Amino acid sequence: MQRRELREVLSLLQRLNDCVSISARRMYTQQVTLTEMLQCSLSDTRRLLPELCLFVDSLLPRTFTSNNKSIGAPPSSLVRHAFRHPEAQWLSRSARQSGISALLCQQLVRLARQDSDSGVQDHNKTIYSSAAELIMHILLDALLSPCAQRLGQAPDACRWNPLQHKPRFHAMTCFPVWSSLLPFAAMIGIQFPDVFQQVMKEHRCLERTIHRVNCDFALVTGIWRLVEELDRGDKEKQRAVSDVIASLLSFASDRMLLCCKNVKDDKKSVHSHLDDQLLEKFFTGMQKFSFKSRRADEILKQTIFGTLQEALGRTECGSQIGAVPQRVVVFTTAGCMLVKDLAVDIVSMVMKQINDLDTLSDRGQHPLLTFLVGFCAHVDLVRLPSVLEVLKMLVTSYKAAAHHAVNPEHQRQWQRELVFYIVYVTLLRSESVDSLRQEVSSDAAAILELLKQFQMQLCSEIAYEDFQFAAPVHWMARVWKHWVFLSDEDVQSFVSEAQENDTDTEQEFKKRMTTWQAWKALIAFKLPSFSRFPQMKSLVNPHLLSLPLADLNDEHGLIIRGQKRRRTEKLSTTNNNPEQLERSFDVLLLPDVMERVCSFMSAKRLCRMTLVCRDFAKLSHSASLWRQLYLRIGSPIGKKQSVVPASPVECRHGDSYKHNWRQMYQERWIVLRRLRRMQRRAIEAVQSSGEAFSSNNRIATFIPQMCTYCGCNQVFKSASEHNVHEAKHKRFTCTEFSCQASFIGLHKFNQHMKEHATKSIVPSTTTCRLVCGYNGCKKRYMSAKRMTTHRQKANHFDRRKA
């Protein structure tokens, strides 16, 4: 920056800081709350904060002369430099707490709404951006920049400290900035989505650094809050706003995979716990957004797929890297778990990138091949048709290697490596084939047809000896059984033949084992590789497939410790206690015994019983248990008399009246708690006034009480109110002996009696009606006189007989 421009920036910065300080003092002296100021009209704001409004009005050219000259407006680049200067005070702690930051943003948004020009150029050829673009730059510079860039020096809480177990979120200065500016950024994004997207593209095109900061936690949390605000505020569901949300999520996804450029840092485990927490925060926000928004599937699929395509493209450019970074592996697995059909698109994209490579040697040495093999083998979210496409690609590469190889030894080694990958994928996806064979549907039939084509290709295009030496024999035995559907005798004959043809020495066999281990180590998505990310591992663990344990007695297999299998077998042999087996058959007693046991429980314990199992939940909803609890509620406990009067309940209903005892208990319990508070206040008031107790240890004055009728929770505060209420119950009681429902209002009482009358009238009316019956006439009448009138008017009688 030149000296002249620097002087102009410092001058504008001084004006900004003076405006902020004066406006903050006015807010403190006038004792006006921020909520009131944000709801004020523009004229009131200009009257209360004139310096703030004048400064905002001076940021863009507002008036022009006849020669089309702008008056008194700094260039847009200088305005941006002034607002993002480290010494700018508009986002300081005092400005945020006084509300000046929010009021300044409100006036900036008002300026963007008033100005509709796309850009202005004055006579000095100085470019002025539109108000919306300038204000969007100001807001996003403050939100998306780390504290080290915004403040010149990052606070201790915002620095990336690998030795720290968890960042000190309460001490970070970037979280309050997001809280202050987020509503106004959402307003601009909804009203000017094209401008928002253009500014976001400029931020994404900036130089990407690999320096990690704790500000990324605030960035991820703030972006998800901004996305939810944009989705909630966009009532019309505009396509442009969806593009804005996608650009925001793409920016956040790039931050998640930013350190993939530096593989040395990715191999260290000291940063993993912070990276794990950051990824967990990102995917937790994604999960909440997918539940709340209807357009989440489309946006998330577009965003995650584009981010992974770019990240894997960077891996393709740097083919000297040994493997895809683990952060990309974790990000891919979690993204496929939360985004529908993303795994199919990723498989197609990676296959296209591999096929675009020039030579077969480049494909073999490229990390995307082991990435694709591990993705199809270990992630069950990849559907079986996509797995078959990858297997066919590997078989085709095996066949093409025989025609393009220059070195025979290298060609043989490359072909066996491809066979190892084929066996590895088929071994881990054996359960998918078994479940497919049990399905009966048109889709399953189509996939089985593809499987038959792969079986023919596998048996005809791969040399038989490679099946014996390219992978462990017991692996290949499972592939023959589950994928080619060979019988046990054929599989056993293959194993015997492989053992007879294996004439390698012990040293050569160890070398072969080392080669297998090296090939296996290159494959991504293995379960142990997720141990550096424990929170993400717990999230994606249900969708990860692990390699089955090998038999220790098999000399031709990979020697893998099988402690878990041995422990399971040991437990199964020792569990022969007949009494223990008998107790494990059924946890519940007989129904009447269980109901008798539960009758001694309180309401709280009955509610807790529902969390145990489905049978306990069904038992806890029993009406007989809640009936006795309802009838005992409010009654005195024990023989000791209490100062607070009892509030018993008495059921006067008949046998045919239907009760909902559980709901009635809940309603009366809520009212009873409020009643006890009222009674204690009344007793304390009486005691403080010095009123003495009566001889029977009760207070002589009236204490608030509750109605004792079943189903009525009325509370009365005086004796007269109590008497009037009981008189209503006695007056409006159903006359049916089997019902005897009681009400306190005439309307409900009449409605109840009409229901009784309807039930008694309907059967008699249906049996006493007279049918006309002339030539199929189905008219019905209550009396013979009306039916005769009907027949005379309709001529429904025989004239000859008449």
pLDDT, mean of residues 291-309: 89
Q: Check whether 313 has a pLDDT greater than 50.
A: yes
Same domain, 205 and 227: yes
Quick check: 206 pLDDT over 50?
yes
User: Binning pLDDT at 50, 70 and 90, where does residue 800 land?
Assistant: very low
Query: How many other CB atoms are found less than 10 A from the CB of residue 411?
Result: 16
pLDDT computed for residue 315 by the predictor: 65
Single pTM value for the model: 0.64
Is 480 within the bounds of a domain? no
Residues 688 and 675: beta-carbon distance below 8 Å: no
C-alpha distances (whole Å) from 567 to each of 546, 578, 665 are 18, 21, 51
Quote the distance between the C-alpha of residue 368 and its chain's center: 30
pLDDT over threshold 50, residue 128:
no
Q: How far apart, in whole angstroms, are the C-alpha atoms of residue 84 and residue 139?
A: 9
* Residue 649 pLDDT: 83
Q: Are residues 14 and 114 in the same domain?
A: yes
Is pLDDT at 579 greater than 70 in this prediction?
Answer: no
Residue 472, pLDDT > 80, answer: yes
- In terms of domains, do 172 and 218 share one? yes
pLDDT at 345: 92
Q: Give the side-chain half-sphere CA count within 13 A for 445.
A: 3
Q: Domain span at residue 704?
A: 593-633+646-690+699-727
The Cα–Cα gap between 178 and 546 comes to 42
Residue 780 has phi, psi (to 5 degrees) of: -120, 145
* pLDDT tier for residue 332 given thresholds of 50, 70 and 90: very high
Residues 187 and 124 in one domain: no
pLDDT digits (tens, 9 = 90+) for 7-47: 888 888 898 999 999 988 888 888 778 888 888 888 888 88
What percentage of the chain reaches a pLDDT higher than 90? 10
Q: pLDDT grade, residue 3 (50/70/90)? A: confident
- Residue 606 tokens, joined: 């009955």
pLDDT band, residue 151 (cuts 50/70/90): confident
For tokens 């020697």, the residue is 559
pLDDT tens-digit map of 222-236: 999 999 999 888 877
Round to whole Å and give the CA distance between 289 and 235.
16
Q: Are residues 8 and 76 in the same domain?
A: yes
Q: Note the pLDDT of residue 391.
A: 92
pLDDT confidence band for 358 (50 / 70 / 90): low
Residues 209 and 240 grouped into a single domain: yes
Residue 70 pLDDT greater than 70, yes or no: no
Label residues 465-483 b or e (16+ Cβ within 10 Å = b). ebbbbbbbbbbbbbbbbbb
Predicted pLDDT at 113? 83
Same domain, 721 and 628: yes
pLDDT at 768: 59
**pLDDT for 772:** 85
Same domain? 212 vs 136: yes
The DSSP call for residue 169 is: G
**Total of domains in the chain:** 4
pLDDT of residue 764: 47
Confidence bin at 116 (pLDDT 50/70/90): low
Taking all residues of the chain, what is their mean pLDDT, rounded to a whole number? 79
Query: How far apart (Å, rounded) are the C-alpha atoms in residues 528 and 537?
Result: 10
pLDDT at 588: 54
Please tell me the distance from the alpha carbon of residue 286 to that of residue 289, in angstroms, as a whole number: 5
Q: Do 121 and 151 sit in the same domain of this protein?
A: no
Residues 236 and 124 in one domain: no
Percent of the chain whose pLDDT exceeds 70: 81
Length of the chain: 802
Q: How confident is the model at residue 207 (pLDDT cuts 50, 70, 90)?
A: low
Residue 565 has pLDDT above 70, yes or no: no
- Using the 3D structure, point to which of 207, 222, 256 is the last residue of a domain: 256
Is a pLDDT exceeding 90 seen at residue 621?
no
Tell which of 256, 288, 320 closes a domain. Answer: 256
Q: How far apart are CA 251 and CA 203, in angstroms?
A: 8
Q: Is residue 533 part of a domain?
A: no
pLDDT over 90 at 755, yes or no: no
Can you give the pLDDT at residue 570? 40
For residue 389, pLDDT over 90 is answered with: yes
Confidence of residue 425 (pLDDT cuts 50, 70, 90): very high
- Of the pLDDT bands very low, low, confident and very high (cuts 50, 70, 90), residue 555 is very low
Residue 359 has pLDDT above 70, yes or no: no
Determine, yes or no, domain membership for 246.
yes
DSSP β-bridge partners for residue 705: 716
pLDDT value at residue 639: 55
Helix axes 174-191, 193-204, angle to 10 degrees: 130
Query: Is residue 451 included in any domain, yes or no?
Result: no
Q: Read off the pLDDT of each residue in 767-772 and give the average, rounded to a whole number.
A: 73
What pLDDT does 585 receive?
46
Q: Residue 334's pLDDT is what?
A: 92
Q: Are residues 82 and 208 in the same domain?
A: no
The pLDDT score that the predictor gives to residue 476 is 86
The pLDDT of 667-682, averaged and rounded, is 86
Residue finishing a domain among 129, 145, 179: 129
In a domain, 736, yes or no: no
Under DSSP, the state recorded for 156 is: G
Q: What is the per-residue pLDDT across 650-665, written as a single tens digit (0 to 9) for each? A: 888 888 888 888 888 8
Residue 612 included in any domain: yes
109 vs 129: CA distance, rounded Å = 15
Using CA atoms, how far apart are residues 57 and 157, in angstroms rounded to an integer? 37
pLDDT band at 577 (very low <50, low <70, confident <90, very high): low
Q: Of 141, 161, 139, 160, which Cα lies nearest the Cα of 151?
A: 141
On whether residue 52 sits in a domain, the answer given is yes
Whether residue 502 lies inside any domain: the answer is no
Which DSSP category does 705 fall into?
Answer: E
pLDDT in tens, 774-792: 888 888 888 888 888 888 8
Assess whether pLDDT exceeds 90 at residue 578.
no
Residues 706, 778, single domain; the answer is no
